[in-house]
């Protein structure tokens, strides 16, 4: 006999929630930081393994592809099977892959294990949100989602700082960028095994939609491959672009067709098509594109354009990290107290857009104080908007669809971030090449080779060339943030059209009351 679809859930006490939350935050932090901690160490990693430039790219791409494509699948599995058991499996996958990455002997092994690590990372990102959704009501969830926003901020901004410190310590080295996750995830696994107690709403008679999952994974992977290589290995308008974009559209179109016909789709179209979830997904995707793209290139700006070390670059981005930490905690508590979420999403989106507008004016000589206020605005905006957009989706679905709904918005946010990084990187490369060429021509020097900026080894360049390269990167960075301003403005528009609803107090949606026939109706 199958379990009822809507059991009378017995909520965990506040003390039990806090104990389980500690383990959830630890494992989410290690999953999120795994994508940023290697950013400053990657040149040394690939160099020590005798890797090529294309392999350098794939070390990053493999994890992003696996994480983004697997996110909705894990979300759907959470609706069908034990959330706690799935979380334990995901932690185990992530821990073993992290250990393997630290032991690799060549880049081929590293790329393969980074893909496995990406599967675990995608699982942990969505399952942590699903588990929190199963522990507390949407109204109370705002408080705990504020902690999640803080963890995401610290991992995004603090990852490069930690990676630089580990790599620069002679008795540790780059392998500890991977090893460091192992003891913490094992600790979190032990804590969650002992403290996490959920009332599961499982449907064992339901089968997983493997056809839809495979089509989604293939379509998204092909699209991200195109974003990764376009304008580097082939032109925007080329047969490769037509083949990859057309193939991705065909695969995703087939996925939509399959999802509309199966009883339990991986991505529930009836949820995504609703007004509020659809608007929340659009806003979340724009926030992801703006935030992840901006965070990645801020570190490069401080190192290449301003000449700071990786550790100093991490410290200089502290205002953004503090902004997210404070804003996510404050907004989360205010949402829990009032039950209203739309005002904080609108305010956060507006502040985010204003912060990027300030950063769009930067060049290689911009005051660091001015940049600090711009980064603070970006951080405050992200903290107030990102996790509260998840609440909008979770508040509109019953408990049995919580995993698929959370997986969908996490998937689109991750997809937006991945596309944002790739597109902004292409813009930066083109802008830098143009500016360096013009600067070297003014000096009467050729624009090709290392003098043209194809190498970022600033120390080996002649002083005049080094100044041109640094100034070009600094001046081009403002254009990235101008693009990010436009992207985040889309999130403002989507937030304005959200329905001003109050978050429910119950874990699950109430069962719909049966319709009553009007008195005197004929049989």
Give DSSP secondary structure letters for 446-476.
--SSGGGTS---GGGS-HHHHHHHHHHHHHH
CA nearest neighbour of 501 among 128, 19, 138: 138
Yes or no: say if 210 and 50 are a contact pair by the CB < 8 Å rule.
Answer: no
Give the pLDDT of residue 91. Answer: 94
CA 65 distance to own-chain centroid: 12
The answer to which of 131-140, 233-242, 444-453, 470-479 has the lowest mean pLDDT is 444-453
Q: In sequence order, which residues have a C-beta less than 8 Å from that of residue 252 and are 6 or more positions away?
A: 215, 216, 219, 220, 223
Report angle CA 92, 211, 219 to the nearest 5 degrees: 85
Give the pLDDT of residue 432. Answer: 78
In this prediction, residues 310-314 reach a mean pLDDT of 71
pLDDT tier at 5 (50, 70, 90 boundaries)?
very low
9 DSSP 8-state letter: -
Task: Please tell me which residue, 456 or 380, carries the higher pLDDT value.
Answer: 380
pLDDT tier at 246 (50, 70, 90 boundaries)?
very high
In this prediction, residues 170-185 reach a mean pLDDT of 88
Q: In sequence order, which residues have a C-beta less than 8 Å from that of residue 349 and are 6 or more positions away?
A: 283, 287, 381, 385, 488, 491, 492, 495
In this prediction, residues 322-345 reach a mean pLDDT of 82
pLDDT for 262 beyond 50: yes
In this prediction, residues 394-422 reach a mean pLDDT of 72
CA 377 distance to own-chain centroid: 19
In this prediction, residues 174-182 reach a mean pLDDT of 90
**Can you list the positions of beta strands (E) in 316-357?**
none
Tokens 């290690």, residue located = 30
In this prediction, residues 201-211 reach a mean pLDDT of 65
Name the pTM for this structure.
0.72
The answer to which of 74-83, 90-99, 265-274, 279-288 has the lowest mean pLDDT is 265-274
**Can you tell me the distance from the alpha carbon of 474 to that of 494, in angstroms, rounded to the nearest whole number?**
32
Task: Please tell me which residue, 384 or 401, carries the higher pLDDT value.
Answer: 384
Averaged pLDDT score across all residues of the chain: 78
Q: Long-range pairs for 181-186 at CB < 8 Å and ≥24 separation?
A: 181/30, 181/33, 181/34, 181/94, 181/95, 181/98, 182/95, 182/98, 182/99, 182/102, 184/26, 184/27, 184/29, 184/30, 185/26, 185/27, 185/30, 185/91, 185/94, 185/95, 185/98, 186/95
């Amino acid at each position: 006999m199958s379990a009822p679809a809507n059991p009378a859930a017995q909520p965990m006490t506040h003390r039990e929630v806090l104990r389980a939350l500690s383990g959830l935050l630890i494992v989410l932090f290690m999953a999120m930081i795994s994508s940023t901690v290697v950013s400053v160490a990657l040149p040394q990693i690939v160099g020590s393994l005798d890797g090529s430039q294309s392999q350098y790219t794939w070390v990053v791409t493999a994890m992003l592809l696996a994480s983004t494509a697997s996110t909705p699948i894990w979300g759907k599995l959470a609706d069908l099977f034990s959330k706690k058991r799935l979380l334990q499996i995901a932690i185990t996958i992530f821990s073993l892959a992290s250990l393997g990455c630290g032991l690799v002997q060549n880049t081929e092994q590293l790329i393969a294990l980074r893909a496995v690590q990406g599967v675990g990372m995608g699982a942990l990102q969505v399952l942590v949100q699903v588990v929190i959704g199963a522990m507390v009501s949407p109204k109370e969830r705002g408080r705990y989602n504020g902690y999640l926003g803080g963890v995401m901020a610290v991992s995004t901004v603090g990852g490069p700082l930690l990676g630089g410190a580990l790599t620069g310590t002679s008795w540790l080295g780059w392998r500890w960028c991977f090893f460091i996750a192992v003891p913490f995830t094992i600790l979190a696994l032990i804590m969650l095994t002992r403290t996490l107690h959920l009332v599961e709403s499982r449907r064992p008679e339901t089968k997983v939609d493997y056809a839809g999952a495979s089509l989604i994974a293939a379509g998204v992977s092909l699209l991200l491959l195109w974003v990764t290589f376009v304008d580097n290995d082939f032109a925007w308008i080329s047969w490769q672009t037509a083949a990859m974009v057309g193939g991705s559209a065909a695969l995703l179109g087939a996925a939509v067709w399959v999802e509309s016909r199966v009883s339990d789709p991986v991505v529930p179209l009836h949820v995504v098509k609703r007004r509020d979830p659809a608007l929340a997904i659009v806003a979340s995707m724009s926030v992801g594109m703006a935030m992840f793209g901006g965070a990645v290139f801020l570190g490069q700006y401080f190192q290449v354009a301003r000449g700071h070390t990786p550790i100093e670059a991490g410290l200089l981005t502290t205002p953004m990290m503090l902004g997210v930490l404070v804003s996510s905690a404050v907004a989360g508590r205010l949402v829990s107290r009032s039950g209203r979420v739309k005002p904080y999403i609108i305010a956060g989106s507006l502040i985010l857009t204003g912060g990027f507008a300030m950063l769009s004016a930067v060049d290689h000589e911009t005051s660091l104080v001015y940049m600090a206020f711009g980064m603070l605005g970006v951080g405050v905006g992200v903290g107030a908007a990102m996790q509260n957009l998840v609440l909008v989706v979770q508040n509109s679905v019953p408990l049995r669809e919580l995993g698929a709904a959370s997986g969908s918005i996490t998937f689109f946010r991750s997809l937006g971030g991945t596309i944002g990084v790739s597109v902004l990187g292409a813009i930066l490369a083109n802008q830098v090449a143009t500016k360096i060429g013009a600067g070297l021509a003014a000096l009467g020097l050729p624009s090709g080779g290392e003098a043209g900026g194809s190498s970022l080894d600033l120390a080996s360049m002649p002083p005049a060339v080094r100044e041109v390269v640094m100034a070009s990167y600094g001046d081009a960075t403002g254009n990235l943030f101008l693009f990010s301003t436009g992207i985040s403005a889309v999130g403002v528009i989507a937030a304005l059209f959200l329905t001003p609803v109050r978050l429910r107090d119950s874990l699950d949606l109430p069962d719909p009351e049966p319709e009553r026939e009007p008195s005197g109706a004929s049989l």
